[in-house]
Chain A
Amino acid sequence: MNPLVCVKRVVDSSSEVVLTDDGQGVDGRFAGFTTSAHEEGAVELAVRIAADGGGGATVLTLGDTDAVEQLRSALAVGCSAATHVLADPQAYGPADVAREIAAVVRDHAAAGTPHDLVLLGNDAADTGDFQVGIRLAYELGWPVVNGVSTVSVADGVVTASGAGPDGHETYRVPLPAVVTVLEGGVEPRYPTVPGRMKAKKVLIEEREPVTEPVGPSRVRLVLPPPSPSTVEVLGEGAAAAPAVVDLLERLGVLAR
């Protein structure tokens, strides 16, 4: 069992977001980088499923050279192989990314390492397209389970579950399959020092994209106008309590 897990290098928007002059992307020069929490969940699941099935988890990213940092992070927490599709992710739409991932899945199968399970995040933290996993499933002709937080594999069947609108939902799907993950079902592990050392030694498979990207349908990015502050300060410390309760009464939220 050799699951493939897909992660994307994204700006950490906890810091201020600056756009490039052409409005086509986020200026990464002053930003920190991370992956989505959903993808951290997917990496943890891939590592556990690989360990249970006596195989190894492969991490994949499509990104520029710096994205190797995200591959190393996944290797440090238990992935055993990594594939880097070297390309500018801002020039790739979700259909393009799905096509490239599908090409890796086919090539690895041909080379003797089939990935019967591909795990992705439910949505990327930057573009938030909510599509790559589903488009990948159509590329491969596989079933796809979307937005689940726990995933396990036994006897060629993947069991996955997560919160749905009517309750906790469970899916059972024969492999091969694509699954997109929401954070919260598993606790991602922290990298250990030996884990980091080992990660540094893994030889990363680097490859070129297989086709020209169609591109995202982006016209441009803009920053939303800052909302003017109209905050009414009710007071400081415990002395503000009467003013707070006055407000609760005025808003009619003080149930009797």
Chain B
Amino acid sequence: MCKHPTFIAGFDEMSLGGLPSQRLSLIVGGPGAGKTVFAMHCLVHRLSALGEPGIFVCFEETIPRLRSNLASFDWNIGAIGDDGIAFVDARIGADTLRGGAFDLSGLLAGLGALRADIGARTIVFDGIDMLLGHLDDGRLEQQEMARLDEWAVVQDVSVLLTAKAFGQSERDQRWSARLQYMTDCVVMLEMAATETTSSRAVRIAKYRGSDFAANPAPAVISGAGFEIVWLRSDRLDYPTFSDRVSSGIDRLDASLGGGYIKGSSVLISGAPGTSKTSLCAAFTAAACARGGKVLFISFDESGAQIIGNMRSIGLDLAPFVQQGLLVMASQFSCGRSPEEHFLAIRDLIRTHAPACLVIDPMSALLKGEYHFATMVCESVLDQAKSRGITALCTSLLEHVDGELELSASHVSTIADTWIHVSYVAREGERNRAITIVKSRGTSHSRQVRELLLSSTGIDLCDVYAAEGEVLMGSARQQKEAELRRRQVELDVSHRRFGLQAEREIVELQARVEAATRELDWKRREAELVATLEAERQDREREAHRFRVDMRLPPAERGSDLREHGPA
């Protein structure tokens, strides 16, 4: 199947290449749904991108009126000549009389000549329902549609028919069935309106001979023309990184195993006043300090206001703005549909090419009853991820069951890291508790920590668990003081025990030394006694022998003194 790109962003993706070549396509929508803009966008962009002329046939409006309507787009339509886009007025006047059977041969012959003259390959029949209204005959309608179908093949053109959305009347239903049957591709432009909001959607109802995305997608009409916010279904080609990007808070980085992963999306949820914006500002300041570009998108709060507020916690973002590293963009959340916001954000990302993106709060996009809000949030993160931008977005939770609501919105599902900040009220005070709910691809602390804001910055603090509750604020300080006192007491008693033991050891050692000395004396004393005794006995024996010797005859004296010593 040969496709004819429309150059309508998103549509060529939905339709896997554009409208069918040499076939009839039907663009259906209610008043103001953008049928003419859709068709004209295609013609203008095929001309500018491919240099390929087109023909625009009006069945409803006069050409001057149509031109003046189209002049409001950034297409410079006034500069496009008849050899670029040829306008043909094909209104059948109200005063035209009918006098029998007729067919479209005249118009088609004329258009065929025009097509050959300028080399057109796309022809728009704007308001085909008006023409069919003149035929006013079921058989004729079918016959002329068949003629047109055949003509498209012969002329080698893509034909775009636009028609008003069909009413409930029997006649409208018949047209609807016939037109849809006779065309190869049917594109429905829908306007979804609630009491307070309205948004556009595009749906491909059928595409003969081709696969297509059947789900409706949000659309925006802006100065640039028609655009569809299309979320790619293949998300496998995101660049992946292992580098870490600092959160701007050392202890939070430590809890996250080094910081946020580059190119990942981080969600910070919490009630009003839980310092979500402060966490964003810390991240911003850290990124800018490294020389990285940051795009900070705030809703309902001006950039100047945020910069002013952040000074109170010691963060001065103003120099980064002056250096051109930080772009603060503020938008009002009301008055625009989420898809319009998305396009504005995407354009800002394209213009500034930031390394980091902050959206505060992302939940501004979920305001109102917009049908595509969650899909748009996904698309925003998709934009960041596909460009390797580290994105930080906050989400305001107004209700107790906010977490549930948030999960339902899918933002928490697409975010890689989810940090929740809450108030813990206890004993007459409110303190901020920060928890890392999840962090893909990184080991992280599961501990609840207290978030401390002071004029010198943001810090995290360990909390104490007691009786199944965490202690924060003054309760934590009390606990800390109590623990410190106990510690001092313990220290003192330990030191006392230590000293006592030391003293006893010294005493014992002294006693041991004294006893050793005494032992020595005793030994020496004993030796002395033994020596004196031996000497005394020697003297005794000498004296005895002498006495014995003296009693013997002189001849025997001295020879056997030893054998005959005193017994």
A binds B: no
